[in-house]
Chains A and B, each alone.
Chain A
Amino acid sequence: MSDDPAFAPLTPIEPSNGHDSSGAADSSAPPPSALGPEEHPASCPLSIHDMTVAYHRKPVLWGVDYNAPPGKLIAIVGPNGAGKSTLIKAVLNLVPKISGEATFFGEPYRKQRGRVGYVPQRSSVDWDFPVNALDVVTMGLYRKIGWFRPVTKKWRQQAMKALVRVGMQDFARRQISQLSGGQQQRVFLARALAQDADFYLMDEPFAGVDAATERAIVDVLRDLRSSGRTAMVVHHDLQTVPEYFDEVLLLNLRLIASGPVSEVFTPENLRATYGGKLALLDQVGHRMTLSGEK
């Protein structure tokens, strides 16, 4: 019964082996990965130079150097406590850097805020807060609305468009605690989309979401890429990295490797990043072999 093809439409995430995996790993023309901030400062969405971050004297990120290529989907991958979220928070000045700097499109963050969208971890807020989905998305526009000005209908309509993009328009008036985890994540994504930024930083948008949400997020990411935008995403599921992303950052307190998935996402690099968790690595190795054979 379980093999009955009639059930296919219900299968959770249909790994679209057939048509779309080409976008990622075996992209025919890999991007120039070394795009120096000195040469093309304004075109480089994010340029991190020798960044070190510490919490209470304990360094959590050492001397990270990275230039994000424009128009790519970039995964940040690494074990728990590797400093993935910290990397995002540090470039956004949410946690202090001990040394180094990060520039967005060639300028410090405070001058480019409008072009940078941030999707924090879902667990970072109190979902019992008395707002509905549309209210949350509208918050993405607050900076554009500006100091002291009230939220008018015009802004709410704009926010609604962002909700439509993540397929949540029917839930606009729903209080946020009555949304499922995946729906909450989509609302967060919509809030960042409403900002209409050129570069997005997302902290584990795929964590604990349902199949429909995963698909919706992937669609949004591809949409962003096809309109020339860049997204940098903290990602946990190694298996889907080659399918979803063009570039990968392997992180474990320091930057282990970075570059196009096809070059960098190798068993050796993963071993260096994750240490001895071999079962996981074998899976990935298998997957890499498969995508290599194609």
Chain B
Amino acid sequence: MLIGSLVTLLAAMCADPTLAAESDSANILRVLTLQDYNTRVVLFGTLLLGVTAGLVGTFTLLRRQALVGDVVSHAALPGVAVAFLAGELVSPGSGRSLGWLLAGAALSGTLAVVAVSLLRRFTPVRPDAALATVLGVFFGLGAALFKTVQELPSGNQAGLQTMILGSAATMTAGDVSLIATAAAVTLLVTLFLFKELSILCFDEQTAAAQGWPVLLLDLCLTGLVVAVTVIGLQSVGILMVALLITPPSAARFWTDRLGPMAVLSVVIGGLSAVAGCFVSATVPKLAGGPTIVLAGSLCFAISLLFGTERGLLRKWLRQRRNTHRIGRDDLIRAMFEIVESRLAGSGDPSSKNLSTVAVQTDELLAKRRWSRQRLQSLIVRAERDAIIRMDSDSGWRFTRDGARTARENVRNHRLWELYLITHAQIPPSHVDRDADFSEHGLDPQVVEELELLLAQKAAVGDVPPSPHPVEGGSSE
């Protein structure tokens, strides 16, 4: 059915004297430079659609109703078919009017959403099953009805097939003005309700307790989704949910705040709509809907990888930095403990003294459970950071700066261990591992408090003794 309609659609597009039909480079230039009135009109309509979808989608996503748009777009099909048939029945030829078709789409889309919420509320059917069932029933009905429409003499030219895969190119100026008006209204309503919808999405209970009409707002949001989906049917088709959900999902990777997220989502939505439209207009036989969706998906992929707030790259970098820091601290501590035990007899371990003792790699290896390879890479890194240096007899020594870092580091670590033992009642035998685990997320404020404590325990600047026996070769 789908492939069949795709073929019909492509045939229709080739026959259509609009932008998609021609393919020579002069035409591409004409499209890109917006010389065509029709191109301008279509682009404007699609842009407005993408912008509206991006804004409404932000709230749909945050309300965890991403799939509602999907249900609406699929469920719109039987509405379109029935509206066409009814129109033809009343006066042949009138069924093709876009307004009439979209009204049918809105009606059946709304019916489907109502059916979903009734199923959820009054039956033990799970939410996902309710969505899938309703989507299946409505789409199946739509597919069957479309077959009937196609068999009508007037049905083939009705262009109903564009409702499945979308074709921005087949929009007329009249269609666009209808779509643009509806999109503008939807956009304005969402903007006006920005604050109200955000509290609804974040904390429904508090919204209700404050006296906001939660049910009405929820209905409003659903209505906005239905509106966006329906007006997007002709240019994007049943994949409209992608234009609704992909832009805000992409935007979330770049920001942690609702306002910027909505703005970014709007930009991404508008951009994908326009980009997809251009591509479909310049490349022959390419439907508009899929190209718009693919453009959005590209934005999503880029955001997923490079998003500055939650992108994978950033996450990976952060993790790597953390691993390095923990490894470095471990190395510093291991080395400090060895040096400390050597200096035990000979006075205080001041920074100067610390750098007089050379430590062999094998000593460090015995100190902790780390592989030689791991230790080697830690050493290389520490040497590069000028924390340790190799002396003439191939032993490792702290540099002056390294010694200072080491004292500070060990001090904090031991203070934390002390805290765990004395205040959190963690047995000393467990402390070292726990200390390792928690100290790296230690609040600087806590460190400060602990330092204050130390001031009362020992002379300022001194490293306190380890509160538990130090493991490895140095615990004499």
Contact = CB atoms under 8 A, between A and B. Distances in A.
Given A125-B203, A139-B202, A130 B449 contact: no
A66 to B, nearest CB: 19
A197 to B, nearest CB: 11
Nearest to B256: A175
A139 B203 CA distance: 9
B389 interface: no
Contact of A113 (B210, B418, B421, B449): B210
Interface residues of A, number: 38
A94 B203 CA distance: 13
Contacts of B452: 9
Interface residues of B, number: 36
A125 B202 contact: yes
Q: Which of A136, A139, A175 has the most CB of B within 10 A?
A: A139
Interface in A211-259: none
B255 A139 contact: no
B469 to A, nearest CB: 14
Contacts of B421: 1-2
Q: Which of B195, B208, B210 has the most CB of A within 10 A?
A: B210
A136 B198 CA distance: 10
Interface in A64-92: 89, 92
Contacts of B199: 139, 142
A150 interface: yes
Contacts of A150: 194-195
A154 interface: no
Interface in A128-157: 129-132, 135-136, 139, 142-143, 145, 147-151
Interface in B401-422: 418-419, 421-422
Contact of B453 (A9, A94, A116, A191): A9
B178 interface: no
Contact of A11 (B198, B256, B423, B467): B423
A130 B211 contact: no
Nearest to A143: B210
Contact of B205 (A4, A124, A136): A124
Contact of A147 (B196, B209, B423): B196
B208 A94 contact: yes
A7 B256 contact: no
Interface string B169-206: 00000000000000000000000111110110111011
Given A2-B422, A129-B202, A142-B195, 7 more contacts: A4-B457, A7-B453, A9-B452, A89-B205, A120-B209, A131-B198, A142-B196
Interface of A: 1-2, 4, 6-7, 9-12, 89, 92-94, 110, 113, 116, 118, 120, 124-126, 129-132, 135-136, 139, 142-143, 145, 147-151, 175, 191
Sorted nearest first, the 3 A-B pairs with minimum C-beta distance are A175-B256, A6-B456, A2-B422
